[in-house]
Protein backbone atom coordinates (compact mmCIF):
# COMPACT_ATOMS: atom_id res chain seq x y z
CA UNK A 1 0.00 0.00 0.00
CA UNK A 2 1.29 3.44 -0.95
CA UNK A 3 0.21 6.30 1.31
CA UNK A 4 0.43 10.07 0.90
CA UNK A 5 0.08 12.17 4.04
CA UNK A 6 -0.72 15.85 3.42
CA UNK A 7 0.81 18.22 5.96
CA UNK A 8 0.14 21.83 6.90
CA UNK A 9 2.74 24.02 8.57
CA UNK A 10 0.84 25.88 11.32
CA UNK A 11 1.66 28.08 14.34
CA UNK A 12 2.13 26.26 17.61
CA UNK A 13 -1.08 26.50 19.64
CA UNK A 14 0.83 28.28 22.43
CA UNK A 15 2.00 31.07 20.10
CA UNK A 16 0.84 34.62 20.61
CA UNK A 17 -0.97 35.67 17.45
CA UNK A 18 -0.63 39.17 15.98
CA UNK A 19 -1.34 40.80 12.65
CA UNK A 20 0.39 43.50 10.61
CA UNK A 21 -0.44 45.89 7.74
CA UNK A 22 -3.71 47.05 9.25
CA UNK A 23 -4.65 43.50 10.30
CA UNK A 24 -4.40 42.12 6.77
CA UNK A 25 -1.36 39.85 7.24
CA UNK A 26 -0.34 37.31 9.86
CA UNK A 27 2.75 38.34 11.83
CA UNK A 28 5.19 35.40 11.96
CA UNK A 29 7.69 37.19 14.21
CA UNK A 30 8.65 34.93 17.09
CA UNK A 31 6.13 32.25 16.12
CA UNK A 32 7.15 28.59 16.17
CA UNK A 33 5.58 26.40 13.50
CA UNK A 34 4.61 22.73 13.86
CA UNK A 35 2.82 19.95 11.98
CA UNK A 36 -0.90 20.66 11.97
CA UNK A 37 -2.36 18.53 14.83
CA UNK A 38 -5.03 16.92 12.64
CA UNK A 39 -2.30 15.96 10.16
CA UNK A 40 -0.12 14.58 12.93
CA UNK A 41 -2.83 12.10 13.90
CA UNK A 42 -2.94 11.03 10.24
CA UNK A 43 0.84 10.72 10.00
CA UNK A 44 0.90 8.51 13.09
CA UNK A 45 -1.78 6.25 11.60
CA UNK A 46 0.25 6.02 8.40
CA UNK A 47 3.25 4.92 10.47
CA UNK A 48 1.10 2.13 11.90
CA UNK A 49 0.25 0.94 8.39
CA UNK A 50 3.94 1.06 7.51
CA UNK A 51 5.02 -0.99 10.51
CA UNK A 52 2.14 -3.49 10.53
CA UNK A 53 1.37 -3.85 6.82
CA UNK A 54 4.58 -2.75 5.07
CA UNK A 55 3.10 0.43 3.57
CA UNK A 56 5.25 3.07 1.92
CA UNK A 57 4.61 6.56 3.33
CA UNK A 58 5.25 9.85 1.54
CA UNK A 59 4.45 13.28 2.95
CA UNK A 60 3.66 16.44 1.00
CA UNK A 61 3.10 20.08 1.81
CA UNK A 62 2.55 23.34 -0.03
CA UNK A 63 4.88 25.93 1.41
CA UNK A 64 8.02 27.97 1.07
CA UNK A 65 11.49 26.90 2.22
CA UNK A 66 10.67 27.90 5.81
CA UNK A 67 8.37 24.87 6.06
CA UNK A 68 11.15 22.33 5.56
CA UNK A 69 11.86 21.80 9.29
CA UNK A 70 8.25 20.65 9.64
CA UNK A 71 8.47 18.07 6.86
CA UNK A 72 11.91 17.00 8.06
CA UNK A 73 10.21 16.18 11.36
CA UNK A 74 7.78 13.93 9.48
CA UNK A 75 10.74 12.17 7.87
CA UNK A 76 12.35 11.78 11.29
CA UNK A 77 9.14 10.23 12.61
CA UNK A 78 9.38 7.61 9.87
CA UNK A 79 8.02 8.82 6.52
CA UNK A 80 10.02 7.51 3.55
CA UNK A 81 10.02 10.55 1.27
CA UNK A 82 8.82 14.16 1.31
CA UNK A 83 7.61 16.54 -1.38
CA UNK A 84 7.36 20.29 -1.01
CA UNK A 85 5.45 22.42 -3.52
CA UNK A 86 7.34 25.70 -3.60
CA UNK A 87 4.44 28.11 -3.12
CA UNK A 88 2.77 30.07 -0.34
CA UNK A 89 -0.47 28.29 0.70
CA UNK A 90 -2.77 31.29 0.72
CA UNK A 91 -5.87 29.63 -0.72
CA UNK A 92 -7.45 26.23 -0.04
CA UNK A 93 -8.48 25.66 -3.67
CA UNK A 94 -4.92 26.37 -4.84
CA UNK A 95 -3.44 24.03 -2.20
CA UNK A 96 -5.85 21.23 -3.14
CA UNK A 97 -4.89 21.55 -6.82
CA UNK A 98 -1.18 21.26 -5.98
CA UNK A 99 -1.60 18.25 -3.71
CA UNK A 100 -3.93 16.55 -6.20
CA UNK A 101 -1.26 16.92 -8.87
CA UNK A 102 1.27 15.19 -6.60
CA UNK A 103 -1.25 12.44 -5.90
CA UNK A 104 -1.87 11.86 -9.61
CA UNK A 105 1.82 11.40 -10.31
CA UNK A 106 2.38 9.21 -7.24
CA UNK A 107 -0.49 6.77 -7.86
CA UNK A 108 -1.31 6.48 -4.15
CA UNK A 109 -3.74 3.97 -2.68
CA UNK A 110 -4.55 6.03 0.41
CA UNK A 111 -4.32 9.79 0.99
CA UNK A 112 -4.52 11.03 4.56
CA UNK A 113 -5.14 14.72 5.23
CA UNK A 114 -6.30 16.57 8.31
CA UNK A 115 -9.95 17.58 8.22
CA UNK A 116 -8.78 21.18 8.62
CA UNK A 117 -5.72 23.19 9.57
CA UNK A 118 -5.83 24.91 12.95
CA UNK A 119 -4.74 28.29 11.57
CA UNK A 120 -7.34 29.18 8.92
CA UNK A 121 -9.78 26.32 9.67
CA UNK A 122 -10.89 26.21 6.05
CA UNK A 123 -11.74 22.51 6.12
CA UNK A 124 -11.88 22.33 2.33
CA UNK A 125 -8.64 20.77 1.03
CA UNK A 126 -9.32 17.01 1.41
CA UNK A 127 -12.82 17.29 -0.03
CA UNK A 128 -11.65 19.26 -3.06
CA UNK A 129 -8.82 16.77 -3.60
CA UNK A 130 -11.29 13.88 -3.54
CA UNK A 131 -13.36 15.61 -6.22
CA UNK A 132 -10.35 16.38 -8.40
CA UNK A 133 -9.02 12.83 -8.07
CA UNK A 134 -12.45 11.13 -8.23
CA UNK A 135 -11.61 9.15 -5.09
CA UNK A 136 -13.77 7.83 -2.29
CA UNK A 137 -13.77 10.27 0.63
CA UNK A 138 -14.45 10.01 4.37
CA UNK A 139 -14.28 13.22 6.41
CA UNK A 140 -13.99 13.72 10.20
CA UNK A 141 -12.44 10.26 10.33
CA UNK A 142 -11.56 8.89 13.79
CA UNK A 143 -10.75 5.27 12.89
CA UNK A 144 -9.37 3.56 9.79
CA UNK A 145 -8.61 -0.09 9.06
CA UNK A 146 -7.44 -1.41 5.70
CA UNK A 147 -7.60 -5.04 4.58
CA UNK A 148 -6.32 -5.52 1.06
CA UNK A 149 -8.40 -3.26 -1.15
CA UNK A 150 -11.15 -2.80 1.44
CA UNK A 151 -11.29 -0.11 4.12
CA UNK A 152 -13.46 0.38 7.18
CA UNK A 153 -13.70 3.87 8.66
CA UNK A 154 -15.51 5.48 11.55
CA UNK A 155 -16.31 9.15 11.41
CA UNK A 156 -17.88 11.63 13.78
CA UNK A 157 -21.33 12.91 12.93
CA UNK A 158 -23.69 15.19 14.84
CA UNK A 159 -24.68 13.34 17.97
CA UNK A 160 -22.75 10.16 17.30
CA UNK A 161 -20.49 8.11 15.05
CA UNK A 162 -20.91 6.47 11.66
CA UNK A 163 -19.17 3.28 10.49
CA UNK A 164 -18.44 3.13 6.76
CA UNK A 165 -17.08 0.40 4.51
CA UNK A 166 -15.42 1.49 1.27
CA UNK A 167 -12.59 0.61 -1.10
CA UNK A 168 -9.23 1.99 -2.08
CA UNK A 169 -8.16 4.36 -3.51
CA UNK A 170 -9.42 6.49 -0.66
CA UNK A 171 -8.85 9.91 0.84
CA UNK A 172 -9.73 10.74 4.43
CA UNK A 173 -9.98 13.93 6.45
CA UNK A 174 -8.55 12.76 9.76
CA UNK A 175 -8.72 14.28 13.21
CA UNK A 176 -8.17 13.58 16.90
CA UNK A 177 -9.18 10.01 17.59
CA UNK A 178 -7.60 8.52 14.47
CA UNK A 179 -4.92 7.40 16.92
CA UNK A 180 -4.65 7.90 20.67
CA UNK A 181 -2.83 11.04 21.75
CA UNK A 182 -0.39 8.83 23.65
CA UNK A 183 0.59 7.23 20.32
CA UNK A 184 1.81 10.51 18.79
CA UNK A 185 5.54 10.33 18.19
CA UNK A 186 8.52 12.50 19.03
CA UNK A 187 11.50 12.01 16.69
CA UNK A 188 14.45 10.31 18.36
CA UNK A 189 18.09 10.99 17.52
CA UNK A 190 18.33 8.02 15.17
CA UNK A 191 15.26 9.20 13.26
CA UNK A 192 16.62 12.74 13.01
CA UNK A 193 19.93 11.48 11.61
CA UNK A 194 18.19 9.18 9.11
CA UNK A 195 15.90 12.02 7.99
CA UNK A 196 18.92 13.90 6.65
CA UNK A 197 19.50 11.13 4.12
CA UNK A 198 15.90 10.76 2.99
CA UNK A 199 14.64 12.28 -0.23
CA UNK A 200 13.00 15.70 -0.02
CA UNK A 201 11.85 16.84 -3.45
CA UNK A 202 10.99 20.46 -4.20
CA UNK A 203 8.62 21.01 -7.14
CA UNK A 204 7.24 24.17 -8.64
CA UNK A 205 3.47 24.73 -8.47
CA UNK A 206 1.19 24.07 -11.39
CA UNK A 207 -0.94 26.89 -12.70
CA UNK A 208 -4.14 26.95 -10.65
CA UNK A 209 -6.67 29.67 -9.76
CA UNK A 210 -6.74 31.18 -6.29
CA UNK A 211 -10.43 31.31 -5.56
CA UNK A 212 -10.35 33.03 -2.15
CA UNK A 213 -8.48 35.92 -0.59
CA UNK A 214 -8.08 36.99 3.03
CA UNK A 215 -9.24 40.58 3.42
CA UNK A 216 -8.77 41.27 7.11
CA UNK A 217 -8.26 39.49 10.42
CA UNK A 218 -9.80 40.33 13.76
CA UNK A 219 -8.85 39.02 17.18
CA UNK A 220 -11.52 37.81 19.59
CA UNK A 221 -12.72 40.45 22.04
CA UNK A 222 -10.58 40.53 25.20
CA UNK A 223 -12.04 38.81 28.22
CA UNK A 224 -13.73 41.06 30.74
CA UNK A 225 -12.56 41.47 34.29
CA UNK A 226 -13.42 38.76 36.76
CA UNK A 227 -15.93 39.67 39.43
CA UNK A 228 -15.63 37.91 42.76
CA UNK A 229 -18.80 37.27 44.73
CA UNK A 230 -18.91 36.27 48.39
CA UNK A 231 -19.88 32.62 48.71
CA UNK A 232 -22.73 33.57 51.04
CA UNK A 233 -24.15 36.26 48.75
CA UNK A 234 -26.30 34.12 46.46
CA UNK A 235 -28.64 36.99 45.57
CA UNK A 236 -25.75 38.98 44.10
CA UNK A 237 -24.49 35.96 42.18
CA UNK A 238 -27.93 35.32 40.67
CA UNK A 239 -28.28 39.00 39.78
CA UNK A 240 -24.93 39.03 37.93
CA UNK A 241 -25.64 35.79 36.09
CA UNK A 242 -29.08 37.02 35.05
CA UNK A 243 -28.47 40.68 34.21
CA UNK A 244 -24.81 40.84 33.15
CA UNK A 245 -23.69 37.40 31.99
CA UNK A 246 -27.16 36.60 30.58
CA UNK A 247 -26.45 33.00 31.56
CA UNK A 248 -29.81 32.42 33.23
Closest CA to 117 of 34, 36, 210: 36
Listed ranges 24-33, 44-53, 118-127; the one with the highest mean pLDDT: 44-53
pLDDT at 209 exceeding the cut of 90: no
User: Do 118 and 36 form a contact (C-beta atoms < 8 A)?
Assistant: yes
What number is the average pLDDT over the span 48-71?
97
Write down the pLDDT at residue 56: 98
Q: How confident is the model at residue 222 (pLDDT cuts 50, 70, 90)?
A: confident
Q: What is this structure's pTM?
A: 0.88
CA angle 110, 115, 121 (to 5 degrees): 145
Mean confidence (pLDDT) of the chain = 94
In a domain, 20, yes or no: yes
**248 lies in some domain:** no
In a domain? residue 112: yes
CA separation for the pair 27, 137 (Å, rounded): 34
Query: Mean per-residue pLDDT for 14-23?
Result: 90
- Average pLDDT in the 223-239 region? 87
Burial class of residue 174 in the structure, from the number of CB atoms within 10 Å of its CB (0-12 exposed, 13-18 middle, 19+ buried) = buried
Domain presence at residue 106: yes
Residue 22: alpha-carbon gap to chain centroid: 28
Query: In this predicted structure, what is the pLDDT of residue 121?
Result: 86
Q: Is the pLDDT of residue 248 over 90?
A: no
Q: Is residue 222 part of a domain?
A: no
On whether the CB atoms of residues 176 and 116 are closer than 8 A, the answer is no
Domain of 175, CATH number, reads 3.40.50.620
Q: What is the pLDDT of residues 174-185, one digit of tens each?
A: 999 999 999 999
pLDDT value of residue 225:
82
* Distance in angstroms (rounded) separating the CA atoms of residues 9 and 33: 6
Q: What is the pLDDT of residues 80-89, one digit of tens each?
A: 999 999 999 9
**For residues 196-222, average pLDDT:** 91
- Print the domain residue range for 98: 2-216
Number of domains in the chain: 1
Amino acid sequence: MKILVCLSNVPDTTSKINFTDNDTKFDTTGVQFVINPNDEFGLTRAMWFKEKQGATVHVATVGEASTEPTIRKALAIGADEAIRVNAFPEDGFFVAEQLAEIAKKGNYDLIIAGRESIDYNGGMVPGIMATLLEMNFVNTCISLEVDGNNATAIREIDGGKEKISTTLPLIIGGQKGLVAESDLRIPNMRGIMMARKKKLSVVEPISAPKATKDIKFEKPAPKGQVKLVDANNLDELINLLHNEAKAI
